[in-house]
Amino acid sequence: MSAARSRSAGPLTGITVLDLTSFLSGPSATQLLGDLGAEVIKVEPLSGDMTRGLPPHFVADDSAYYLANNRNKRGVAIDMKDVKGRDLVERLIDQVDVVVENLRPGALGRLGLDVARSRARRPELIWVSISGFGQDGPRSGLPAYDMIVQALSGVMSLTGEPGRSPVRLGVPAGDIVAGLYAVIGLLAALVERDRTGIGDWIDASMLDGQLALLSYQAVYSLISGTTPAPQGSRHDSIPTYRTFAGSDGHEIAVTANTERMWRDLCDVLELPELAADERYANPRARLRHRDSLWAQIEPRFATLPAEQWLVRLTDCGIPAALIKSVPEALADARSDGRGMVLKLAHADGRSVEVLGTPIVFRSRERVAMRYPPALGEHTRDILTGVLGMSTEEIDRLAEDGVVIAPQPSSPGASIASGAASDG
């Protein structure tokens, strides 16, 4: 491979991943692997990944949810409940570097696709299992979704306004965090395999990921024996790290978290007496007297529009930001050149905007992004190119209802590998 070619290829080029996942935690992980250059083969049941039909938004026959998590993959459709289908998947397992699955623990084993047996045949194989509660423990056999693990982890108890009912985070942190930890574990296993030649089995739990997100809140509780409460838009440790409302009702997030920023905040607010008040002389004192401090700061913020406060705070080096809606944040992302809003092109001319990958390799060109695969779109290519099967064999499997394998010339069978562009 030439130097120019290597710069344009992803760092995981040459790694092949068999994606046996569905919904969100697994597909988000395998999409990231595809973004990094891995060859990802997505195996779906004949009915398709259940998120293909998830409302409310669709592009042609596929939901926005599916399109958000399945780019940069090649798709095959196989009935794994059929013995011939299981044989195909087992043969694919024997040809790849990595298997990623997010079925309930033991489900693949009951189909005859056992991780221990697969790794016994090929010790170099890396197997990644994402589940709600891990591969062992009292909850391992229970189903889990994002809100379940947010609830069990304590994350929901910290979310929302003080004195109100707990609320779910507005983003699917349970799924996404599990996917990220799975990828981190996989990358570490790849490094170890390069050194030893031996793969590993990665056990990524959604609940464990949410517990890890508790961070200092967990340690506060462990050390103090207290129960952390919802903070709303405030901070348990820093009273000048919170939002304030301007005269126009718009909220501004202020993070004056150093002594220098504290003094500058007093100057910006034209409240020099606060800096001289012994009640606010240091971080511990300010936290202890936070209610009286807020009683003086909040009315001052209410005298000017939030935008004016933003200018004043930014000019003196205090990090601050207006709270933006999702469309406003995406509009900024389209224009800032960071590539976090991508346009994926379909062979029929339509396109869809999705989020990009927040990992930038400064020495590489951006890898072109491919539109998510149609159901069974690459079945023929994979079975021929990876397993060496003939057209006649694939036709018989399709006729027997074991696979979906559209002919390349059939309508909708071919999806272009559309290059990503800034939206």
Known catalytic residues are: 175
Per-state percent for the chain, helix, strand, coil, to nearest 5: 40, 15, 45
3-class secondary-structure state, position 89:
helix
Half-sphere exposure of 28 (CA within 13 A, CB side): 20
pTM of the predicted protein model:
0.92
In angstroms, the CA 25 to CA 104 distance is: 13
Contact status, residue 70 vs residue 49, Cβ threshold 8 Å: yes
Peptide linkage before 372 cis (omega within 30 of 0): no
In angstroms, the CA 104 to CA 393 distance is: 32
Among 173, 109, 100, 163, residue whose Cα is nearest residue 140: 109
B/e letters for 130-148, b = 16+ CB within 10 Å, e = fewer, are bbbbbeeeebbeeebbbeb
In angstroms, the CA 134 to CA 207 distance is: 8
pLDDT of residue 9: 82
85 Cβ neighbours under 8 A, 6+ residues apart: 78, 79, 402, 403
Angle made by CA atoms 294, 234, 320, in degrees to the nearest 5:
85
Burial of residue 296 (CB within 10 Å: 0-12, 13-18, 19+) is middle
Q: What is the mean pLDDT of each run of 10 residues along the chain (423 residues)?
A: 54 97 98 97 97 96 96 98 97 98 94 94 98 96 96 97 95 98 98 98 98 97 96 94 97 97 98 97 97 98 98 98 97 94 92 95 88 97 97 98 85 35 34
Among 158, 321, 154, 325, residue whose Cα is nearest residue 242: 321
Residue with tokens 């056999």: 141
Say if strands 98-101 and 16-20 run parallel, antiparallel, or are unpaired.
parallel
pLDDT of residue 8: 60
